[in-house]
Amino acid sequence: MVQAAMQPWIEMECYQLGRGKRVAQMDSLDLGSQQVVVERQEVAVQKLGIAPPNFCTVSCCTPDPTSRFSELCAADADSIFFMPGNFEFDIYVPAGVQTAYVSFNQDEFLDGARALNPADWERAPSQLLSIQTTPQAAFKNVVNQFLKVTETFAALDEVVDTSVMQNALLQNILQIAVSSGANESRPSPIERSRAFHICRMARIFVEDSLAVDILPTIVDICTTVGVSERTLQYAFRTYVDMSPQAYLRMCRLNRVRETLLVSDPQNTTVTAIAMRFGFLHLSRFAFDYKRIFDELPSATLAS
């Protein structure tokens, strides 16, 4: 079946269960070890197969009481699914349902998951998981943004750095699927002292990484400092009254500005520098840059 053939990274059989010549529409982005896929089902199908070893997916679909992901119902708007490698799946997708999924190297995904939330991800799942998380809109937004990235850079005649995209995609999905949240209680003096030292170590690591053009992630910070994401979130709220994700983004924005100020506009572009520091969504980058520095990045480069 055409729908199965368009996803060669996973062997499956698709059985058409309804009437119609066009079974589905599919948009996809192949990043080698990662794939981003959105399928819009026009005719009901059943999908059968076994996930490859060391392969996992994170997915969601339009809530529908008749949708089924193996033994799990897909009717909850706040659920996403984690499917591990070697899992034998049996999926029913009715007409009108849209499914979005991202596939990863499972070892890489689980390393990140354990760094962020060791309590829940210490053991590698062997069965399908339904994860109660933020509304599916957050997941779908990430998927749609990455599907548009290559189009945006192609229109600007810029080369897309696949490794930067892979890392950004992994970190975005980890934050949605794995994040353990933050503790909002008032810190004691001892806790404030610990938070200061945690964040100081994190800041030094971030600065050292950016200085050699390495884009640090929350997973990297948790691993280096030796804390869970929950502890890191708590510490940064005490340290600078913002999340570690927001602080890391501010560090990268500041590094972009420093680079723009010393760059020759004849030899580089704002897009190239933005991507160098992990900003793939250019309109959001430009908006954030102007909001913080009160000028467009193109004006900084031209100054």
DSSP-derived pairing of the beta strands 129-132 and 24-30: unpaired
Output b/e per residue, 72-101; b: 16+ Cβ within 10 A: bebeeeebbbbbbbebebebbbbbebbbbb
CATH code for the domain in which residue 239 is found? 1.10.10.60
Residue 12 backbone phi and psi in degrees, to 5: -155, 160
Residue 165 lies in a domain: no
Residue 10 lies in a domain: yes
| CA atoms within 13 Å, Cβ hemisphere of 21 | 0
Residue 259 lies in a domain: yes
Residue 175 lies in a domain: no
Q: What is the pLDDT of residue 1?
A: 61
Residue 293 backbone phi and psi in degrees, to 5: -105, 0
Residue 9 sits in the same domain as residue 126:
yes
Residue 13 sits in the same domain as residue 113:
yes
User: For residue range 106-120, what is the model confidence (pLDDT) as tens digits?
Assistant: 999 999 999 999 988
Find the Cα–Cα–Cα–Cα dihedral 283, 78, 59, 124, rounded to 10°: 120
Q: What is the pLDDT of residue 183?
A: 43
Residue 191 sits in the same domain as residue 286:
yes
Residue 168 lies in a domain: no
Domains of the chain: total: 2
Domain that includes residue 243, residue range: 182-302
Residue 97 sits in the same domain as residue 197:
no
Q: Residue 79: which of 87, 69, 89, 88 has the closest Cα? A: 69
Query: What is the model's pTM?
Result: 0.85
Distance CA(133)–CA(122), nearest Å, equals 19
Q: What is the pLDDT of residue 182?
A: 44
Contact present, 55 and 108 (Cβ < 8 Å): no
Judged by DSSP in three states, 193 sits in: helix
Residue 83 sits in the same domain as residue 127:
yes
Q: What is the pLDDT of residue 133?
A: 66
CATH code for the domain in which residue 134 is found? 2.60.120
Residue 16 sits in the same domain as residue 143:
yes
- Residues of the chain predicted below pLDDT 70: 1, 133-135, 180-187
Q: Amino acid letter at 1?
A: M
Q: What is the pLDDT of residue 135?
A: 66
Q: What is the pLDDT of residue 160?
A: 75
Helices (H), the chain: 2-5, 106-116, 118-121, 136-155, 162-177, 189-211, 218-225, 229-240, 244-262, 270-276, 282-293, 297-302
DSSP class of 277: T
Residue 130 sits in the same domain as residue 199:
no
Residue 169 lies in a domain: no
Residue 161 lies in a domain: no
Residue 126 sits in the same domain as residue 29:
yes
Residue 87 sits in the same domain as residue 192:
no
Q: What is the pLDDT of residue 151?
A: 77
Residue 18 sits in the same domain as residue 111:
yes
User: For residue range 159-187, what is the model confidence (pLDDT) as tens digits?
Assistant: 778 888 999 999 999 999 987 544 445 56
Q: What is the pLDDT of residue 87?
A: 95
Residue 49 sits in the same domain as residue 99:
yes
Residue 247 lies in a domain: yes
